[in-house]
Amino acid sequence: MTAGELRGRGNALLRRAGLPCPERECAYLLSGLLHFRPFELDLAPGRELAPEEEKMLLDALGRRAAREPAQYIIGSAPFRDLELEVCPDVLIPRPETEELVDLALPRLPAGAKMLDMGTGSGAIAIAAKTERPDLDVTAADASPRALAVARRNAARYEAQIDFVLSDLWAAFPGKRFDLLAANLPYVSDPEYARCEKEIFFEPRSALTAPEEGLALIRRCIEDLGEHLTPRGGAVFEVGETQARAVCAFGEKSGFAASVRRDMAGKERFVLLHP
């Protein structure tokens, strides 16, 4: 079978599965697995596939038709200028989280100490360290499996990051940082039940939290003052209806709070500062 013939079969399979953009999905999956750039796939429709390639690609298309995320099938996902390993032990990085990095970096003076809490694949921490090598970056997660993925991603980019297994602040008694960057679980159980099927392949513990999704963020903010330097602050990614509640948590703990919208115009980020 040629690459073009398999692509045609893949388009039809994903269309029958109800994916909204089957041709784009198929091209992304095949180019990722064949290590092509998308335009190279268009230039090689007559390329004969080896039997093992054909089997791998047909298996991958079947997994995508079952709504497994393409990033897990390929084994990687883009984040800013990085290509990060992803698997069901970690969330797939979202574009909104790239915007969190844009908000965090200008608030960090030279040599500042930054903590990425709930690091998952390590996306925030590795982006910060590779774009600002002067920073002293620590990354924490409650999942040993997630930290293993994050360490591998950091090693790929030779990013010197201190990875710590911790349930929120548990592993940081007496330690202070100039900035906390946090993308903690914030999806409520009812919201989770309404999600697209792809979400159910991702680790639920990294997505959902009690108290309408706010429990972990609230707990984090309650102890935040003990872990920031005098001029330190925090940037939280939150659900699109949660910003005002998170601001209230911050103000109750003695911080000034402000909201930033994401590129889609949603109230996605809360900034806390003295």
What is the C-alpha to C-alpha distance for residues 58 and 6, in angstroms, rounded to an integer?
8
CA distances from 217 to 10, 110, 238 (A): 42, 27, 9
What is the C-alpha to C-alpha distance for residues 261 and 73, in angstroms, rounded to an integer?
31
Residue 145: count of CB within 10 angstroms of its CB: 13
With beta carbons less than 8 A apart as the criterion, state whether 83 and 39 touch: no
The pLDDT of residue 36: 78
Taking only the tens of pLDDT, the chain with its 274 residues reads 888 889 899 999 999 999 999 999 999 999 899 887 766 776 677 788 899 989 999 999 999 999 999 999 999 999 999 999 999 999 999 999 999 999 999 999 999 999 999 999 999 999 999 999 999 999 999 999 999 999 999 999 999 999 999 999 999 999 999 999 999 999 999 999 999 999 999 999 999 999 999 999 999 999 999 999 999 999 999 999 999 999 999 999 999 999 999 999 999 999 999 9
In one-letter notation, the amino acid at residue 48 is: E
> Taking the C-alpha atoms of 239, 246, 91 and 40 in order, what is their torsion angle to the nearest 10 degrees?
60
What is the C-alpha to C-alpha distance for residues 204 and 241, in angstroms, rounded to an integer?
20
Determine if the pTM surpasses 0.85: yes
Domain layout of the chain by residue ranges: 3-66, 80-273
Beta pairing class for 228-237 and 267-273: antiparallel
In one-letter notation, the amino acid at residue 13 is: L
Q: Which two tokens stand for residue 20?
A: 């909204």
Architecture of domain 80-273 in this structure: 3-Layer(aba) Sandwich (3.40)
